[in-house]
Amino acid sequence: MYKVQEVAKIAGVSVRTLHHYDSIGLLKPSNIGSNRYRYYNDEDLKLLQHILFFKELGFSLKKIQEIVAHGFDANFALAQHIEFLRLKKERMESLIQSAEMTLLENAGAETLSNEDRFAAFADKKNGDDISKYKMEIPELLEDEVSEESIDAAEEAEVLVNMAVIDEAAAIEEPEQVETAKPEKEEEDLDEINREGNRIYNAVAALMHLPADAPEVQVEMKAYYTLLNRFYDCTPRMFRGLADLYASDSRFANNIDQHGKGLSTYLKEAMYVYAAALQDA
């Protein structure tokens, strides 16, 4: 059996990601100890490998959850992963060769025809094969903004929503895990929930002001800073989260508990802040 920090280190993912997968039912540990520590077995790690394969190929967490929930042929899935990766490898090798030939031409050691110059980009067979694969695996590559926004929103909601305050009780002893962001969950989860709800309440009290009012934008800065403590939230992703907060009932209903119409107002305020970041 493996503790959550050990799985994170083996798989190269963050502890936060594993907690999130558990919270949405995508990858639940096989055992929860009397100390409330999560324990994973080898079968759990095999499933995690498939999840990471699907993520690498562009599936959203929602789509992966649907695939896993309905059962899937693991060997068939692996064969499909291998085939698509092989096609991508051929594509990359062709592009590398093209770049190397261009480098030689620039050094005066090679002369390229225009046909050679664009051969990698005009490789219709490889492109058709990849397109065929995409057709056989529906929704393989979903919209980039939607993919980033939905996954980020789900993770942010797990951290900010008061419904997961009890996660703090399940935090295990800290270990060094290599992740994109340092893990400080033991000290942060209660604070994150408190700060997230403080921001919601503060913005709800300011809804009589325009969304670009300085008082409102101070809270947007605090919210943006809060999200960036757990993942790199770009202005583009911040706008995507705003869209979801207003349009997805899962988020809108929760946010509107702090004030009627808050989710729509919050969207406007987040858009203003994201625009200011891009203009800076």
Instruction: Judge if 51 and 118 occupy the same domain.
Output: no
Contact in structure between 220 and 128 (CB atoms under 8 Å): no
Q: What end-to-end distance do the CA atoms of the chain give, in Å?
A: 49
Boundaries of domain holding 94: 83-127
Same domain, 93 and 62: no
The answer to whether residue 59 sits within a structural domain is yes
Question: Residue 233 domain-assigned?
Answer: yes
Say which CATH number the domain at 199 has.
1.10.490.50
- State whether 40 and 103 are in the same domain: no
Q: Given this model, what pLDDT does residue 118 score?
A: 75
pLDDT at 168: 31
What pLDDT is attached to residue 17?
86
pLDDT tens per residue, range 133-151: 444 444 433 333 344 454 5
Does residue 254 sit within a domain? yes
CA distance 264 to 246: 5
What is the reported pTM? 0.44
**Residue 193 corresponds to which tokens in the numbers above?**
């929930």
pLDDT, position 171: 33
* Domains: count for the chain: 3
What pLDDT score does 75 carry?
Answer: 76
- Where residue 21 sits, what CATH number does that domain have? 1.10.1660.10
Residues 260, 238 share a domain: yes
Instruction: Give residue 151's pLDDT.
Output: 54
Residues 45 and 123 in one domain: no
Last residue of a domain, one of 44, 69, 94: 69
Q: Could you list the pLDDT tens digit for every one of the 280 residues in the chain?
A: 889 889 999 999 888 888 888 888 889 998 888 777 889 999 999 899 988 888 877 778 888 888 887 767 777 777 777 877 788 788 888 888 888 888 887 887 777 777 777 777 766 555 555 455 444 444 433 333 344 454 555 555 544 443 333 333 333 333 333 334 444 444 456 677 788 889 999 999 999 999 999 999 999 999 999 888 766 778 888 888 888 888 888 788 888 999 999 999 999 999 999 999 877 5
Q: Looking at the domain assignment, is residue 75 inside a domain?
A: no
Please check whether residues 58 and 88 belong to one and the same domain: no
**What pLDDT is attached to residue 268?**
95
Q: DSSP letters along 78-106, please?
A: HHHHHHHHHHHHHHHHHHHHHHHHHHHHH
Please compute, for residue 48, the number of CA atoms within 13 A of its CA located in the half-sphere on the CB side. Answer: 26
Identify the pLDDT of residue 128: 54
Say whether both 229 and 274 belong to one domain: yes
For residue 57, what are its two tokens?
């190929």
Note whether residue 240 is domain-resident: yes
Q: How far is CA 153 from CA 189, 225, 253, in A?
A: 16, 15, 14
What pLDDT score was predicted for residue 155?
52
**pLDDT value at residue 280:** 56
Q: Which two tokens stand for residue 200?
A: 């919601």
Residue 31 pLDDT: 87
Q: Report if residue 181 sits inside a domain.
A: no
- Same domain assignment for residues 221 and 263: yes
Matching residue, tokens 């993942």: 231
In a domain, 24, yes or no: yes
Answer whether residue 250 is part of any domain: yes
